């Protein structure tokens, strides 16, 4: 399963492993490795460690604080972080809105927002989806009406991940009803402390409260917080979604879960023998290994294309589809592998305040059920897989 590395790349891998061994806080690694929920403070603590080393933004240009890494070094970074139990860098600032600001924002916006994203001083959330406007994003109805040097924004966003922690939200709003729906959308940066914003949590099936509804009532947003031109936000949104869908593939995280699955399969007994000896289970495990390997290959091809300035076509949509399918297939097999210990799910097993009892079963069991539930949504967010298949049909087959 390992990609063949050059001596220089292997030296980088060893350097980064040493950094993780020395700098990754043990309590954060333990939480991440066992699937327990991390607080905002945990993420900020780790991201500040990365920033201090200059490794917070591998995908940024060097002039903005990026690393100057090759595509393979970026891949090694993701893989080693996942293997060591380092939490993922929250993507909304560094991976999603920052590239849009760099490409389409003015100098004042770059100077104002990019440094605070690097230092984790500002946390961002994404205001795209609305009730009735998810996969069909162009049908969004949140309105922004120009009033002098401000826009007055009214509407609702939903499925807004980590909005309860966010300082800023990048959002799509309708600034015109003329022409095609895509032609009247603008891209705004909204201060989450603005009067008129309310954040209401949505409890997910795994018991989490990471997503929210955000209500905007007469929220005044300075025109200077619009990225690019008015009514051209659809172009910027598509650019951002290309970055989001590539990162959703999460090959490093899938490889870490695959390693866990292989270990459980060797340990768990089925009819007196390890599950890895069961022909049907072994066949399905081998298929996932092949899927992860092919996914990794496509991720690397896409990264190299981007690094050479070549346009990326349908690859992000394919990565989004296949990456999320692999994630869901992995959780299916993980749940099957631990047998009866997969059935009970108690939020208290996340070691939340006031819970002192040890969970029943193996220590890796309690987090697998919520992981299974949580990853059901992976095929929906970032543009549903059905929509991605339509994109592929148009771009590849010309249908």
Output the pLDDT for position 335: 87
User: Rounded to the nearest 10 degrees, what angle do helices 40-53 and 26-33 cross at?
Assistant: 120
Residues 85-102, mean pLDDT to the nearest whole number: 94
Output the pLDDT for position 342: 72
Residues 238-251, mean pLDDT to the nearest whole number: 74
Q: Are 186 and 230 in contact (CB under 8 A)?
A: yes
Give the model confidence (pLDDT) of 28-40 as tens digits: 998 888 777 899 9
* Dist. CA 48–CA 30, nearest whole Å: 19
Give the model confidence (pLDDT) of 350-360 as tens digits: 555 544 555 56
Q: What is the CA radius of gyration of the chain?
A: 22
The residue that leads in pLDDT, 285 or 135, is 285
Q: What are phi and psi of 362, to 5 degrees?
A: -65, 150
* Dist. CA 317–CA 319, nearest whole Å: 5
Residues 162-185, mean pLDDT to the nearest whole number: 94
263 falls in which pLDDT band (50, 70, 90)? confident
Two structure tokens written together for 139: 């049908």
The residue that leads in pLDDT, 394 or 230, is 230
Domains of the chain, residue spans: 7-89, 124-232, 249-396
Residue with tokens 């399905």: 284
* Dist. CA 216–CA 291, nearest whole Å: 42
Q: Which CATH class is domain 249-396?
A: mainly alpha
Residue with tokens 């910027």: 236
Two structure tokens written together for 157: 């966003």
- Output the CA–CA distances (angstroms, integers) from residue 274 to 198, 261, 262, 341, in the order listed: 52, 12, 11, 16
Q: Are 254 and 330 in contact (CB under 8 A)?
A: yes
Q: What are phi and psi of 277, to 5 degrees?
A: -85, -10
| Matching fold, domains 124-232 and 249-396 | no
The yes-or-no verdict on residue 126 having pLDDT over 90 is yes
* Dist. CA 41–CA 225, nearest whole Å: 27
Which CATH superfamily includes the segment(s) 124-232?
Answer: Butyryl-CoA Dehydrogenase, subunit A, domain 2 (2.40.110.10)
Q: Tell me the pairing of strands 143-147 and 150-157.
A: antiparallel
Q: How many residues does the chain have?
A: 399
H or E element in which residue 227 lies: strand 226-227
Q: Are 313 and 338 in contact (CB under 8 A)?
A: no
Residue with tokens 């992000």: 316
**pTM, rounded to two decimals:** 0.84
Query: Hey, which residues does 202 pair with through a beta bridge?
Result: 211
Residues 293-321, mean pLDDT to the nearest whole number: 78
Closest CA to 386 of 136, 146, 90, 21: 136
Q: What are phi and psi of 213, to 5 degrees?
A: -100, 140
H or E element in which residue 329 lies: helix 315-337
Which residues are designated catalytic? 244
């Amino acid at each position: 399963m390992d990609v063949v590395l050059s001596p220089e790349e292997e030296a980088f891998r060893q350097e980064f492993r040493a950094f993780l061994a020395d700098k990754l806080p043990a309590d954060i690694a333990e939480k991440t490795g066992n699937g327990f929920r991390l607080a905002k403070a945990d993420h900020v603590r780790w991201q500040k460690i990365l920033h201090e080393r200059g490794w917070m933004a591998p995908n940024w240009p060097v002039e903005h604080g990026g690393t100057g890494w090759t595509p393979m070094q970026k891949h090694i970074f993701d893989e080693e972080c996942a293997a060591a139990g380092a939490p993922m860098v929250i993507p909304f600032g560094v991976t999603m809105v920052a590239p849009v600001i760099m490409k389409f924002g003015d100098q004042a916006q770059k100077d104002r927002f990019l440094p605070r994203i690097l230092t984790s001083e500002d946390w961002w959330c994404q205001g795209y989806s609305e009730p009735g406007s998810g996969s069909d994003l162009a049908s969004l109805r949140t309105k922004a009406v120009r009033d002098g040097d401000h826009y007055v924004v009214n509407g609702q966003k939903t499925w807004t991940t980590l909005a309860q922690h966010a300082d800023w939200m990048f959002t799509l709003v309708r600034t015109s009803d003329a022409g095609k729906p895509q032609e009247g959308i603008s891209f705004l940066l909204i201060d989450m402390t603005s009067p008129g914003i309310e954040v209401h949590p949505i409890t997910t099936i795994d018991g989490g409260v990471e997503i929210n509804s955000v209500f905007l009532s007469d929220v005044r947003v300075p025109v200077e917080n619009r990225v690019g031109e008015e009514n051209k936000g659809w172009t910027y949104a598509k650019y951002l979604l290309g970055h989001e869908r590539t990162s959703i593939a999460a090959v490093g995280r899938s490889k870490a879960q695959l390693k866990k699955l292989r270990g459980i399969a060797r340990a768990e007994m089925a009819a007196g023998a390890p599950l890895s000896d069961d022909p049907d289970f072994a066949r399905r495990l081998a298929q996932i290994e092949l899927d992860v390997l092919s996914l990794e290959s496509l991720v690397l091809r896409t990264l190299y294309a981007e690094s050479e300035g070549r346009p990326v076509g349908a690859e992000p949509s394919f990565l989004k589809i296949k990456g999320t399918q692999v994630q869901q297939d992995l959780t299916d097999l993980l749940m099957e592998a631990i047998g009866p210990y997969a059935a009970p799910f108690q939020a208290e097993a996340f070691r939340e305040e006031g819970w002192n009892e040890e969970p029943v079963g193996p220590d890796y069991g309690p987090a697998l059920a919520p992981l299974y539930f949580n990853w059901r949504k992976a095929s929906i967010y970032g543009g549903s897989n059905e929509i991605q298949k339509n994109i592929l049909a148009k771009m590849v087959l010309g249908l």
